[in-house]
Chains A and B, each alone.
Chain A
């Protein structure tokens, strides 16, 4: 008898006058909307941190670059490579060359203490000793302000991220390293990569200051092409003189940020779920109130012959609509407040500071809104079912 058109007409007409009664329920509806908006904003905000860290790591990596560490070392901090190791790595097949010189950059990596802006507490900053090939290997490196340090002098250049996060890292400032004063002569950026959180200095200056002799911790090398990686890696692992491991830069950074990414994502999801539960109760409350205040109207409609299906759907529709509104507000709020907002966090591999920008991506916004819709559906379902199951005769008796 009643075709789908009929159902649609029923749903539509009930939904329309449900919505027309909204002004009488502004208070509780706004509570639900903003409750959901808050949840979505926090969820998108937190997840954008993880996203931002991931993007920083991705930006740090070039497809043809490799990192070589000592076997068993998970990060530069734990690795050591002697002068001979460095030489064998530079000579390995697949390493790009320029004017006969291998594009392989042996690097030192130490941690120094600096005072954080804002909190005034000490935090770790990576101090990287580089050699001239570094400027060819890390091709995103670019001096923004001041100048590059002179090779052989105890001058440093500071990444923009580090300068933003710590006190006393402006051009002209002086930092104390191993009880010596080293002037800051320049500020650099690296396409938003992780290097921007570091301070760079000539490795030949850093080695004696830290009594490292002729040792390094890592070799960053540019290969002739990304495809050359397997041959390069095989050559290193099969060389009996070497005890090292080679990774693509992208894999290395992904591994470095993996723990942090997982931690933040898990935490963010957990927070979102807990807050989401709260919002579900808010929505439940709103919709129960809505249903209760219209119990007579709903009963009357059903007495007239309206099916309970359209009643359920129309209540759900209203709750989902409120949730959608909340979701969109929350997503916009997060986007406006967090996108590109720069912050620093601990790099869990080196225990040094990692600067990154919150990355509120479109996908994240969509996720947030979908989450809001789920809240709306769950929050509307039970009140809708109650509305549909209420015995008509009882509801009509209540005045």
Chain B
């Protein structure tokens, strides 16, 4: 948008350039994103807002390598990801991306610790090392005492904290959260936002968070509004 940094220490961690996203539904074409540019510097906590259906999740998926743009390029940490093969993209996600979902998406048959350990199965860490890291991640989100609980025995807020622990256990380059508080009450939301803010401030995590909640967006260091396929600094009325 505004800053087009060429190079240097403050170079963007994420660079989205001229991205179009068109979905085909039968013969109908849905143009969701059109010529979108976005730079996210390292260490930023960015909030994405916008009306329902404006393409916030779509944009997040593109940055996270879960989908590919119809047009344009996406670079994360100086690596083009829009033209990687599926196999390479999967490996890339495992290495660079931590995902937090609105409905947590935990595996119901696995304990909290096992859920958090899951992404570590994609690394070459030993069993005991995996276990140790999962425990540390659960400690960071304040759930050490719920380690062996199964998702259905945890509250929504607790499940989301397990979700965040799973997202940070691999120490990803980028933490992407799609409405992480969308399914939670005020108190739990506050706790989750505190946690994300702490991760950003104390550990320097770069975070992109999609939200509908103005209060949530206030915790971020910057808020952008998505509407009609474009980003702006102000909500459209």
Query: Does B107 lie within 8 Å of A396, measured CB to CB?
Result: no
Task: Report the bound CA distance from A20 to B108 in whole Å.
Answer: 10
Residues 5 to 38 of chain A near chain B (Cβ within 8 Å):
5-6, 9-10, 13, 17, 20-21
Could you say which of B72-80, B117-125, B201-209 contacts chain A?
B117-125
Query: Does A6 lie within 8 Å of B122, measured CB to CB?
Result: yes
Query: Does A296 lie within 8 Å of B107, measured CB to CB?
Result: no
Q: Is there a chain A Cβ closer than 8 Å to B99's Cβ?
A: yes
Chain A: minimal CB distance from B113 (Å): 14
Query: Does A393 lie within 8 Å of B66, measured CB to CB?
Result: yes
Q: Is there a chain B Cβ closer than 8 Å to A123's Cβ?
A: no
Task: Report the bound CA distance from A305 to B61 in whole Å.
Answer: 13
Task: Give the chain A neighbours of B101 by CB distance below 8 A.
Answer: 300, 396
Task: Report the bound CA distance from A134 to B101 in whole Å.
Answer: 88
Query: Does B103 lie within 8 Å of A399, measured CB to CB?
Result: yes
Q: Count the B residues whose beta carbon is within 8 Å of the partner chain — how many?
A: 29
CB closest chain-B residue, reference A394? B67
Chain A: minimal CB distance from B184 (Å): 16
Q: Which of B66, B86, B121 contacts A303 (CB 8 A)?
A: B66
Query: Does A304 lie within 8 Å of B109, measured CB to CB?
Result: no
A282-310 to B contact mask, C-beta < 8 Å, 1/0: 00000000000000110011111111100
Task: Give the chain B neighbours of A77 by CB distance below 8 A.
Answer: none
Task: Give the chain A neighbours of B103 by CB distance below 8 A.
Answer: 399
Q: Which of B67, B92, B122 contacts A391 (CB 8 A)?
A: B67
Q: Is there a chain A Cβ closer than 8 Å to B71's Cβ?
A: no
Q: Which of A1, A6, A17, A300 contacts B105 (CB 8 A)?
A: A300
Which of B61, B87, B109 has its CB near the most chain A CB atoms (within 10 A)? B109
Query: Does B105 lie within 8 Å of A296, measured CB to CB?
Result: yes
Task: Report the bound CA distance from A228 to B166 in whole Å.
Answer: 82
Q: Which of B61, B90, B99 contacts A306 (CB 8 A)?
A: B90
- Can you report 25 A-B residue pairs in the complex whose CB atoms are below 8 A from each other? A3-B124, A6-B122, A10-B121, A20-B109, A296-B105, A300-B101, A300-B107, A303-B64, A303-B93, A303-B99, A304-B99, A305-B92, A305-B94, A305-B97, A305-B119, A305-B122, A306-B121, A306-B122, A307-B87, A308-B86, A391-B67, A393-B66, A396-B105, A397-B57, A399-B103
Other than the known A17-B107, A304-B119, A305-B122, what 15 A-B pairs have Cβ atoms closer than 8 Å? A21-B109, A303-B66, A303-B99, A304-B93, A304-B118, A305-B94, A305-B95, A305-B97, A305-B119, A306-B90, A306-B122, A308-B86, A391-B67, A393-B61, A393-B67
